[in-house]
Structure 1
Amino acid sequence: MTTILGTPFSLGNGVRLPNRIAKSAMSEALGTMDNRATPELVRLYRRWGAGGTGLLITGNVMIDRRALGEPGNVVIEDERDLDLLRDWAAAGKAHGAQIWAQINHPGRQAPKGLNAETVAPSAVGFSESMKAFFETPRALTGDEIEEIIARFGRAAGICRKAGFTGVEIHGAHGYLVSQFLSPLTNQRSDIWGGTAENRRRFVLRVLEAMRAATAPDFPIGIKLNSADFQKGGFTEEEALDVMGALAEAGIDLIEISGGTYEAPVMTGVRASTKAREAYFLDFADKVRARIPHVPLMVTGGFRTAAGMDAALASGSLDLCGIARLLAIEPEVSQRLLEGKDPEQKVTPLKTGIGMVDRMAMMEVTWYTRQLRRIGRGQDPKPRESALKVFLVSTLETIIGMRKTRRLRAGN
């Protein structure tokens, strides 16, 4: 039996998590083509909730139907889907877990052709290898930035009303919050850019809007990069400064990850060490030294119950985040809590197409397909061909994008 992994953990506001295993966000893409919640999401989270995970964080709940990250995103702009959102939250909580909605805006990280236009802090395009997939965005106006901040707050308030027990700001992996933080993608000269202090103004305002729309005892966490691993980009020192500012502003949990689609270290491309399972544990040590009172979650690289217990015993973190493993073994948390190692292993996915294999998108696509199987009441296929999934998903994405655009045009 593990000694620490199965122990409860209380956040600073008194909210109690039943154990130290957290499901990190994965984009389910199980919403309808007009971006509404579905029974498949309810079924998926009911299975995960029954599997022993203490904290379930949903994937990519968007705040604007005009700004999707992919077809099938759930969007929360108003209360039209409150009943289904309540079912989704209730399914996750049914066996004692906490369930938080991850709130996001893609910014420039939206596939070509999905949205009528792509917006970002600055009109900075992607690298040559990614230009075929993503448009060069238009820079947001000051009024548009204020509107987006308000939308983050409104979505958080609706999630609380629906019964979600917390929310998480997606501030990592190259999405909009991350874009504001990075000097590579934020080249503004107004109050939203220029200095490091100005670049973090956006995320602090988002936190402020969410808190105003919820309550002091409603947990608000954030997923942040330790760095974006690109020359001239968001550095570790800047990340520490941002986390310190968020701690002062009252953030309840910081989840540490790293990388972007252009430098996808979060998928395990460049593990920091093989002796310690977690990819970002060394950085977590630095965060703990800087802001010792804020709960920390580290996601990426955990493989065994002993590895998780050792990481927790080190004092560097409070929660162990797992994601892809839960897509191929939904009940793995129960095994881990019993001191048993997973039956399945997360392994690199290869299609044989060089351009595809060098990016993180294949990882997202393949695992999303496994989530869809679980959402339909089926079991995942841990050995499904990556090439087959890529070809099928590419066709489904094209069809989904066309349907989404037609539905939007009809509205």
Structure 2
Amino acid sequence: MSDSLGDGRGGPTVAQMRLYERWAAGGLALSIIGEVQGSPDFAEKPGNLVLNAQSDTERFRELARRGSANNAHLWLQLGHAGAMADAPISTPKGPSALDLPGLSCGALTLAEIQHLPGAFAQTARRAQELGFGGVEIHAAHGFLLSQFLSPLFNKRADAYGGSLGNRMRLLLETVAAVRRAVGPDFPVGLKLNATDQLEGGFQQDEALEVIAALDSTGIDLIDISGGTYFPGAPSSSDRAGSGPYFADFAGRARTRTSVPLMVTGGFKTRQQAEATLASGKADLIGLARALVVDPDLPSKWIKGAADAPRLPRFEDPPEGGVTAWYTMQITQIANGEGGLSPSDLAAAIAEYAQRDRLRHAIWSDHFRR
């Protein structure tokens, strides 16, 4: 999840350290911090972390130490928002130039594209040196590597566009560069959309081909998700049914790869998680919103409790409103405060927006944008 708890200068905060320490205490095996940028140029939000040569490495070391309490792993999710980069603090660029309602971006040059695998690899190596348990390359949810896979975003006519083989080229080059940088034993995962859930976009059959291509790359985990933050597009969690969203797709993917699979999205009961594992469709279960409303859920399930988290229901929330509510609920956990109620939605949206406005100014001043 994107916790949005960075200090606005790309650095970890004490609240962020408390959050991952708290989740570790709740019994989970692995936390993944999204997103962590290698540079400040294409951040998803001003609360993202930036890990580069100018970072406060001691704060990152402390985050790694505290997030790995109780034998948990803490991985950094390596991100690049591309066309979805936060416009107040960046100049969005994607595979191709776009001028659509709510989304405008330039096109990356060939030289800029060819620079990316090494940049991801450098960030991964820094994460390894600072004591994090692994990294996850983010190729889902409409961010840059996902954009290259999608024919809606990728209109290129060179070696990185057109056929699926060309559209997955940057992803495979990035995985290879990261693996070379960290060696054979450091965990490297990848988050991949089963589908971006947009008409004419990246579809399940194409995702299966990408998964097959990843099978021989030395990747350690494929984290299956779906959907995109394309303006106006509903998220998977806002429009899917009551059960896991991508478990059936994972069953299809299982026939195409020997890499361990994690399925994220829609798991609300212990029975759902156990059934998916027992079916062989997945090896790990990813929890997001369930952990935001109950940080102790893994421990409860391990002890045999069948409790389902009480997820809030909202009446006609505005676009982005539910994300704002959950993000501010994450902040409540990080600060050791009580939970929000659905009636707090308007206040959470306002606080979320105000915090970003303040950090936009901090980010721009710090990085001299």
TM-score of the superposed pair, with normalisation by structure 2 = 0.94
Task: Verify the 8 A CA contact 2:220 2:259 in the aligned structure 1.
Answer: yes
Task: Verify the 8 A CA contact 2:38 2:120 in the aligned structure 1.
Answer: yes
Please give the alpha-carbon distance, in whole angstroms, between the structure 1 residues aligned to 2:246 and 2:324. Answer: 24
Task: Verify the 8 A CA contact 1:365 1:389 in the aligned structure 2.
Answer: yes
Q: 1:376 aligns with which of 335, 341, 357?
A: 335
Please give the alpha-carbon distance, in whole angstroms, between the structure 1 residues aligned to 2:227 and 2:314. Answer: 18
Q: 1:252 aligns with which of 212, 220, 233?
A: 220
Aligned counterpart, 1:3? none
Please give the alpha-carbon distance, in whole angstroms, between the structure 2 residues aligned to 1:407 and 1:294. Answer: 41
1:110: Cα distance to partner? 2.4
Aligned counterpart, 1:270? 240
Please give the alpha-carbon distance, in whole angstroms, between the structure 2 residues aligned to 1:343 and 1:80. Answer: 40
Please give the alpha-carbon distance, in whole angstroms, between the structure 1 residues aligned to 2:29 and 2:79. Answer: 22
Matches within 5 A, 1:311-322: 311-322=276-287
Letter in 1 for 2:237: T
Letter in 2 for 1:282: D
Please give the alpha-carbon distance, in whole angstroms, between the structure 2 residues aligned to 1:171 and 1:83. Answer: 28
Aligned counterpart, 1:33? 8
Q: Equivalent residue of 1:213, what SS? A: helix
**Is 1:119 matched with 2:119?**
no
Q: Equivalent residue of 1:341, what SS? A: coil
Matches within 5 A, 1:10-409: 26-78=1-53, 80-115=55-90, 117-126=91-100, 128=101, 131=102, 134=103, 136-262=104-230, 263-271=233-241, 274=242, 277-291=243-257, 293-342=258-307, 344-350=309-315, 352=316, 356-357=318-319, 361-383=320-342, 385-409=344-368
Task: Verify the 8 A CA contact 1:329 1:380 in the aligned structure 2.
Answer: no
Task: Verify the 8 A CA contact 2:75 2:132 in the aligned structure 1.
Answer: yes
Identity %: 38
Task: Verify the 8 A CA contact 1:305 1:337 in the aligned structure 2.
Answer: no
Task: Verify the 8 A CA contact 2:4 2:47 in the aligned structure 1.
Answer: yes
Q: Equivalent residue of 1:170, what SS? A: strand
Say how many residue pairs are matched.
Answer: 367
Q: Equivalent residue of 2:323, what SS? A: helix
Task: Verify the 8 A CA contact 1:268 1:279 in the aligned structure 2.
Answer: no
Task: Verify the 8 A CA contact 2:260 2:283 in the aligned structure 1.
Answer: yes
1:380: Cα distance to partner? 3.2
Please give the alpha-carbon distance, in whole angstroms, between the structure 2 residues aligned to 1:397 and 1:80. Answer: 21
Q: Give ranges in structure 1 of 5+ residues lacking alignment.
A: 1-25
Letter in 2 for 1:287: A
1:180: Cα distance to partner? 0.5
Letter in 1 for 2:161: G
Q: Equivalent residue of 2:17, what SS? A: helix
Q: Rate the CA distance shift 1:342–1:106 in 2: closer, same or farther, 3 A.
A: farther
Task: Verify the 8 A CA contact 2:150 2:201 in the aligned structure 1.
Answer: yes
Letter in 1 for 2:80: H
Deviations 1:129-176 (A, max 9, x none): xx1xx4x11100111112222211011001011111111011110000
Please give the alpha-carbon distance, in whole angstroms, between the structure 2 residues aligned to 1:254 and 1:348. Answer: 30
Q: Rate the CA distance shift 1:342–1:226 in 2: closer, same or farther, 3 A.
A: same
Structure 1 stretch displaced more, 339-348 or 26-35 = 339-348
Cα RMSD over matched residues?
Answer: 1.7
Task: Verify the 8 A CA contact 2:35 2:78 in the aligned structure 1.
Answer: yes
Letter in 1 for 2:336: G
Q: Rate the CA distance shift 1:39–1:392 in 2: closer, same or farther, 3 A.
A: closer
Deviations 1:263-320 (A, max 9, x none): 344324123xx5xx311111011101122x1111011111111221111111111111
Deviations 1:74-106 (A, max 9, x none): 011226322111111111222111221111000
Please give the alpha-carbon distance, in whole angstroms, between the structure 2 residues aligned to 1:384 and 1:148. Answer: 43
More RCO (CA 8 Å, sep 6+): 1
Q: Give ranges in structure 2 of 5+ residues lacking alignment.
A: none
Please give the alpha-carbon distance, in whole angstroms, between the structure 2 residues aligned to 1:374 and 1:340. Answer: 22
TM-score of the superposed pair, with normalisation by structure 1 = 0.85
Aligned counterpart, 1:15? none
Deviations 1:222-246 (A, max 9, x none): 1111011111111111100111111
Task: Verify the 8 A CA contact 2:42 2:86 in the aligned structure 1.
Answer: no
Deviations 1:353-409 (A, max 9, x none): 6xx33xxx3232221111222222324325452122112222222222123222222
Task: Verify the 8 A CA contact 1:267 1:363 in the aligned structure 2.
Answer: no
Q: Rate the CA distance shift 1:343–1:244 in 2: closer, same or farther, 3 A.
A: closer
Considering fraction of residues, name the structure with more helix: 2
Task: Verify the 8 A CA contact 1:371 1:380 in the aligned structure 2.
Answer: no
